[in-house]
Amino acid sequence: LRALDLLNGGSRGFQRVKRGWVWNQFFVLEEYMGSDPQYVGKLHTDLDNGESGVKYTLSGDGAGTIFTIDQITGDIHALRSLDREEKPYYTLRAQAVDIETNRPLEPESEFVIKVQDINDNEPKFLEGPYTASVPEMSPVGTYVMKVTATDADDPTYGNSARVVYSILHGQPYFSVDAKTGVIRTALPNMDREMKELYQVLIQAKDMGGQLGGLAGTTTINITLSDVNDNPPRFSKSIFHLRVPESSAVGSAVGRIKAHDLDIGKNAEVEYNIVPGDGGAMFDITTNEHNQEGIIMLKKPLDYETKKAYTFKVEASNAHLDPRFHNFGPFKDTATVKINILDVDEPPVFSKPSYAMDVYEDTPQGTIIGAVTAQDLDAGNSPVRYSIDWKSDLDSFFDIDPVRGTISTNELLDRESIAQHNISVVATKVSKYVAVTVHVLDINEFPPELAMPYETFVCESAKVGQVSEYKWLCLNKDKHFFGILFFFLYSDNTAGVVTLRGGFKRRSQEIYHLPVVIEDGGLQTLSSTGTLTIRVCGCDTDGSLLTCSAEAIFLPVGLSTGALIAILVLIVVLYVGVRRQKKKETLMTSKEDIRDNVIHYDDEGGGEEDTHAFDMGTLRNPKVIKENMFRRDVKPELGLCPRRPVASQNSADISNFISLRLQEHDGDTSAPPYDSLATYAYEGEGSVAESLSSIESVKGETEEDYDYLNEWGPRFKTLAGIFGERSESQSDVTSSTTTENKH
């Protein structure tokens, strides 16, 4: 079998003869655009002698659909256009058989039809567009990135897949290696602050870059990353600030800023105050968001002390790059001038508070002290003084508006108010100072006995005998000499000296001894108290035995035992009488149960006598029990008790009683048996007296309000109001009386 391989579009070339089934590759051009089927090659066997006794068959990839064979001649044709990138080769099987018997003349053999490549695919960048970055100020040749283009054509056949790279846009800043596609910097000292973003266009061309080759392009966005190659710079050399003297310590009084062209951490600025004039008064910090320098106040300002401050502020980078130290110092300095603004401040008192002393009953208009305040502002305005009326409602004090002297406006009474706290106002601008006035005590009250005191003297006392005793004396004055007042002896005891003997309880049991008490003030005051002296029985050594009523009965001959026996007998008799009364029945007649007349043989117990009648209804007229029948009438089955109308006003007991009486009088459900209804109604004879409004005093009684004048200065206004009301009521009464007389 011979195989004829026709190349170059089916034109016959040289012929290679093989023995039997020996195959070469068949080639078919891809993308064939002819109108006739493309001739691939011819199959022939040595057994074919030209007498048409051999038939050729074809099987395998695309047999019958893509490839066809002439059974007699063995010519193979491609029925349609083929694409090498879709399928580069096809494997088929051929066999020669007897045309009549269809018997194989030779074994089946396999051969390949290869699609021959043409340059029909351009290079492609599969991952574009690309993004890359390179530090600014990088030297020439600094690696940026590598790009790769792929060509679908056959790299083993011709130059269809041999790609060459070139840069179309982006010069002179960057370059690309023609074979590898590596991109590098081509220009030194590229500055990000001048231009940050570069767009580079790269081309990949096949056929080794020759004319007629196919090409593909891609874009690379290259960004210059920042480095710290710029120091911070102030926009001006002097900053002027104005700050009120009233600014609070710790508050921000101004802002300055040094601009850095770098970004990120390379633009972070640190501010420092250069030691000097303002270092002690001000501080500066960095705002992390906008890199501003915030000037803070460290100490209070005073315009009158110092009106301006001048200091220098230094701005420097926090992160330095040693590669750029030769660019110069990475810091800048500016001068800050702060002018203090005067604020209209209130006057300042010489003291935070004042304390003054004045004796009570000091004459009106007496100066007790003075306050002083000064205007520290530049104008030094005069100061005017006044007393805050809220702190001195009763106007006890007055103040000179120019000199600040405080004087009494009324007589002071230490026993009423011992201390006055007033507020003095100093204007230009109001400022308050506390003034405490202590009312000093004078000796105006005499000492007196704290309570009535008693002592005793023995019946057997002799002339000149001393009875020692101690008394407690009080004095309303604050400063008096000693809490206890002692008499006669230096050992703090007072003695009662008997001027005679022979005291008898039977003749006189009690003596009242006047005692004169004096204090130790500059103006001595005294008072007289009464000491009660009781005559008592004493032992031989003067010890007290008894001062009771027994002393009266003993001379009659009754002993203590006899007195006790008499008292026991009286108690027994009283208990017996009470028991006898309790046994008596309350009902004198039991013949007719309907007679409910209750007789009492003893005096009523007032509001404590609650056994004869349920007073709950009377005490609360609104509480009326259901199904309450008359106790003196047998209830009838067909009749329902009528609910009495309760009084809406529980306090009007009189109307309630009247309604109940009318109800009983008009009740037709029972015969008119005699009946007595008892009500627990309080009257004048009870302990609680009358609670009814019937006997209430008609008309308002006139009340005398003159006692308000005795309560002191605080009640003068109230006394005046009620005094006028009393006078007006008196005038109306007198006019009414006069009209009645006429």
- DSSP letters, 491-547, are TS-EEEEPSS----TTT--EEEEEEEEE--SSS--EEEEEEEEEEEEE-TTS-EEE-
Q: Is the pLDDT of residue 716 over 50?
A: yes
pLDDT of residue 333: 94
Q: Is the pLDDT of residue 595 over 60?
A: no
Asked whether residue 500 falls in the same domain as residue 432, the answer is: no
pLDDT of residue 562: 67
The tally of domains found in the chain comes to 5
- Provide the whole-model pTM: 0.43
Q: Is the pLDDT of residue 737 over 80?
A: no
Measured between alpha carbons, how far is 673 from 205 in angstroms, rounded to an integer? 143
Higher pLDDT, 496 or 182: 182
pLDDT tens, position by position, 366-392 = 999 999 998 877 667 788 899 998 888
| Mean pLDDT (the chain, rounded) | 77
Asked whether residue 128 falls in the same domain as residue 220, the answer is: yes
Instruction: Give domain status of residue 142, yes or no.
Output: yes
- Chosen domain end from 394, 412, 440: 440
Which residues, in sequence order, are CB contacts of 685 under 8 Å at separation 6+? 606
- Chosen domain end from 83, 116, 149: 116
pLDDT of residue 728: 57
Evaluate the omega torsion of the peptide bond into residue 88 and state whether it is cis, within 30 degrees of 0.
no
Check if the beta carbon of residue 429 is closer than 8 Å to that of residue 345: yes
pLDDT of residue 141: 94
- Chosen domain end from 414, 440, 466: 440
Closest Cα to residue 455, out of 417, 495, 500?
A: 495
Residue 639's pLDDT band (cuts 50, 70, 90): very low
- Which residue in the block uniquely carries the two structure tokens 């009570």? 360
Q: Is the pLDDT of residue 44 over 70?
A: yes
Run of H or E including 553: helix 550-553
pLDDT of residue 22: 43
Asked whether residue 145 falls in the same domain as residue 219, the answer is: yes
Measured between alpha carbons, how far is 713 from 708 in angstroms, rounded to an integer? 10
Residue 488's pLDDT band (cuts 50, 70, 90): very low
Question: How many Cα atoms within 13 Å fall on the side-chain side of residue 255?
Answer: 6
Instruction: Give domain status of residue 66, yes or no.
Output: yes
Instruction: Give domain status of residue 516, yes or no.
Output: yes
pLDDT tens, position by position, 120-165 = 889 999 988 999 999 999 999 999 999 999 988 888 777 888 999 9
Instruction: Give domain status of residue 506, yes or no.
Output: yes
Instruction: Give domain status of residue 327, yes or no.
Output: yes
Asked whether residue 239 falls in the same domain as residue 337, the answer is: yes
Higher pLDDT, 37 or 624: 37
* Burial of residue 293, with CB atoms counted within 10 A of its CB: 0-12 exposed, 13-18 middle, 19 or more buried: buried
pLDDT of residue 419: 92
Asked whether residue 452 falls in the same domain as residue 496, the answer is: yes
pLDDT of residue 211: 86
Beta bridge partners of 130: 220
Q: Is the pLDDT of residue 472 over 50?
A: yes
Q: Is the pLDDT of residue 669 over 70?
A: no
Residue type, 327: F
Over residues 575-585, mean pLDDT: 65
Higher pLDDT, 543 or 295: 295
Instruction: Give domain status of residue 542, yes or no.
Output: yes
Asked whether residue 220 falls in the same domain as residue 138, the answer is: yes
Asked whether residue 129 falls in the same domain as residue 60, the answer is: no
**CATH code, domain with 356:** 2.60.40.60
Residue 559's pLDDT band (cuts 50, 70, 90): low
Over residues 651-657, mean pLDDT: 74
Asked whether residue 175 falls in the same domain as residue 242, the answer is: no
Residue 702's pLDDT band (cuts 50, 70, 90): low
Instruction: Give domain status of residue 12, yes or no.
Output: no
Measured between alpha carbons, how far is 552 from 506 in angstroms, rounded to an integer? 6
Which residues, in sequence order, are CB contacts of 166 under 8 Å at separation 6+? 176, 178, 202, 203, 205, 209
263 is in which domain, residue-wise?
A: 233-341
Token pair for 497: 């000296």
Over residues 570-588, mean pLDDT: 66
Over residues 626-646, mean pLDDT: 48
Q: Is the pLDDT of residue 533 over 60?
A: yes
Q: Is the pLDDT of residue 611 over 90?
A: no
Residue 194's pLDDT band (cuts 50, 70, 90): very high
Helix (H, G, I), strand (E, B) or coil at 731: helix
Over residues 315-329, mean pLDDT: 83
Closest Cα to residue 667, out of 622, 638, 629, 637?
A: 629
Helix (H, G, I), strand (E, B) or coil at 616: helix
pLDDT tens, position by position, 248-269 = 999 999 999 999 999 999 999 9
pLDDT of residue 119: 81
Measured between alpha carbons, how far is 458 from 324 in angstroms, rounded to an integer? 121
Phi-psi region of 365 (alpha: psi -120 to 50; beta: other; left: phi over 0): left
CA distance to 12, 213, 508, 600, 648, per residue, from 734 (Å): 164, 139, 57, 52, 40
Asked whether residue 302 falls in the same domain as residue 359, the answer is: no
Asked whether residue 46 falls in the same domain as residue 61, the answer is: yes
Residue 434's pLDDT band (cuts 50, 70, 90): confident
pLDDT tens, position by position, 61-94 = 888 888 888 888 888 898 888 888 888 889 888 8
Over residues 422-445, mean pLDDT: 78
Token pair for 254: 């101004």
- Provide, rounded to the nearest whole percent, the portion of the chain with pLDDT above 90: 27
Higher pLDDT, 513 or 543: 513
Measured between alpha carbons, how far is 81 from 85 in angstroms, rounded to an integer? 12
Asked whether residue 145 falls in the same domain as residue 104, the answer is: no
pLDDT of residue 499: 80
Instruction: Give domain status of residue 37, yes or no.
Output: yes
Asked whether residue 354 falls in the same domain as residue 432, the answer is: yes
